[in-house]
Amino acid sequence: MPSISDTAHPRRPWLPDVLLVTLVAALFFGFMLGTRELGVPDEARYSEIPRQMVASGHYITPRLDGVLYFEKPPLFYWLQTVSIHLFGLGQWSMRFWTAFFAVLGCVAVYVTGRVIYSRRTGLLSAMVLGTSLLYFGMGHVVTLDMTVSVLLSLSLFAFLLAHREPPGRTRRLGMWAAFLFAALATLTKGLIGIVFPMMAIGLWIMVLWDWSILRRMYLPSGFALFFLVAAPWHIAMQLRHPTFLHYYFVRQHFERYLTDVAHRYQPFWYFLPVLLAGVLPWSAFIVQSARSHLRFAWRDRARHAETLLLVIWVVSIFVFFSASDSKLVPYILPVFPPLAILIGRYLDDRWGRPLTRADRWAFRALAPVGVALGAAAAFVVPATRPSLEPHVLPIAMGALGATLALASIAAAWAGLRRGFAAGVVTLAAGFSLFLLGVNASAPYLDTRTVKALALKLRPRLTPGAIVACYGWYYQDVPFYLRRRVEVVNYKGELGYGTTLEKTPWIMRGPAFWRQWNSGRTVYMVTSRPTYERLRRRGIRMFMVAGNRFNVIVGNKAS
């Protein structure tokens, strides 16, 4: 399927395009990056662990609220500590690396799409990736998923581009880059960093039945580089904590995948609607893209080897996670960069050409789907989602729903009346406005943050004062208070670490109430229902701050 833009500008320089993609993506993902409070629990957790590293000066062993935390490798935490040292401790600095990797993913998709297909394919692929609903959302959230997804994609893209090169220095450096990015992905989220590249490339080799590819991958030196980067931290952790490798590999990898130990079971088909919703609005073209890229005859598969590798990457990761007993929405994110290239190539192929029947159906579906989703945002969300700003939420969601509906209608009209290219451009522009609106409205949807309460408490704290989370671990409290807190009647993900060393600040109720009545200054963060229950029991408490959902009380009057 050759692109009509393949020969349009054969010698067009790269630098202006790379700068353009970088600038637009940086503005897109940097918009209001630091204005929203850290989400609970993920954003607060992945900000508090690096905060404790900086505060303690210990960077090898991750700790959450002072408790050993072995669930994830340290690369993302280390990046966060760099951000803290450079930019200070704040919401923007904590989200910097997530946005950075989101931008890097768009640039990488542009470069790869341009090299293997055409300049316009690269530009359209970057546009598709950056404006996909799930990718945009995860680019504004402090989690490991964006970082590991981009690193995995960089490993795949480096291999793909190196494979195109003749034997020599460029190919060798490209293959080493693929192993390096796999090692960094492993240091970000574990074994998937090497399992996914091996799985996709191995399946690709078997489909092509070309085992000579293995000889061109510089496997001995590549794996030596991989272990040189990925192994030292794991070895250091095992030497310090003899139970680490068993918990890290057996519990956090194999048991999570094969059993419901994490209590995240979902049916096998779970990721199908997640993918279709996550790639909105470009899911309108996903079926056509699949048919277009799989149209070649089996005997011609070697001529389409690069496309075939992108397809195998998407399908193999999708099936891998679908077969798991532990499923969360962001797990599917690694398929988005290669999928964006496949969709971008299809859009490029159709650019400027008469609409096909499938294209007409796609544009006709945009308006009713957009209106339906817009109505859900405007009416269903405010009616079902409690908010700290109940009067603002309906206005924000109404504006958001109207934007989505109008953007969908405009894209449908432009596509059917003005042609395929006009419809795609209108859809991208309209959905971009919607996504920016989503980001601006997000603070009104989060009901679990206690930032405002913590900031009211912080000026009152003296060096000897105790702060305790009662009945739940409010993970943003230690971040905003800049200190460790006690946790009462709750362990959750802190549980395993408490079995490895003494953690007297993780306690049961009787020990806490002895503190409460000891004469020391004690503050308690808890839910409003728990506060009401304790008040009815006659517990003497003095209100410090509160909202509709949570309160902070003290054992002494101000």
pTM higher than 0.85: yes
For the CA atoms of 6, 9, 14, 17, what is the dihedral angle to 10 degrees?
-90
- Residue 169 identity: R
Average pLDDT over residues 222-241: 97
Residue 11 has a pLDDT of 64
Rounded CA separation 190/248 (Å) = 9
8 Å CB contact between 414 and 422: yes
Mean pLDDT of 297-301: 81
300-318 b/e (C-beta count within 10 Å ≥ 16 → b) = eeeebbbbbbbbbbbebbb
Q: How far is CA 386 from the centre of its chain?
A: 24
Residue 263 vs residue 298, higher pLDDT:
298
Q: How far apart are CA 321 and CA 153, in angstroms?
A: 16
Strand partners, 250: none
Of the pLDDT bands very low, low, confident and very high (cuts 50, 70, 90), residue 254 is: confident
CA–CA distance, 342 with 290 (Å, rounded to integer) = 8
Q: Is the pLDDT of residue 476 over 80?
A: yes
Q: What is the pLDDT of residue 126?
A: 98
User: How much is the pLDDT for 8?
Assistant: 42
**Which of the 8 DSSP states describes residue 5?**
T
**CB 95 within 8 Å of CB 50:** no
Across 112-126, 369-383, 436-450, least confident range = 436-450
Average pLDDT over residues 365-385: 89
Give per-residue pLDDT as tens, 181-226: 999 999 999 999 999 999 999 999 999 999 999 999 999 999 999 9
Rounded Cα–Cα distance for residues 534 and 525 (Å): 12
Assign 347 to helix, strand or coil. Answer: helix
Dist CA 17 CA 123 (whole Å): 8
pLDDT at 56: 95
pLDDT(48) > 80: yes
Cα–Cα distance list, 480 to 134, 295, 528 (Å): 28, 55, 20
Q: With b meaning 16 or more CB within 10 Å and e meaning fewer, what string describes 470-488?
A: bbbbbbbbbbbbebbbbbb
Tell me the pLDDT band of 255, cut-offs 50, 70 and 90: confident
Q: How confident is the model at residue 443 (pLDDT cuts 50, 70, 90)?
A: confident
What's the one-letter identity of residue 519?
Answer: G
Where do the structural domains in the chain lie, given as residue ranges?
133-350, 357-443, 451-554
Vertex 50 angle, CA 49 and 52, to 5°:
70
How large is the average pLDDT for residues 129-155? 97
Cβ contact 494:64 at 8 Å: yes
> What pLDDT was estimated at residue 380?
86
The pLDDT value recorded for residue 390 is 76
Tell me: pLDDT of 528 over 70: yes
Q: At residue 107, does pLDDT exceed 90? A: yes
Identify the sign of the CA torsion 351, 353, 358, 364: positive
Is the confidence at residue 72, as pLDDT, over 50? Answer: yes
pLDDT bracket for residue 3 (50, 70, 90) = very low
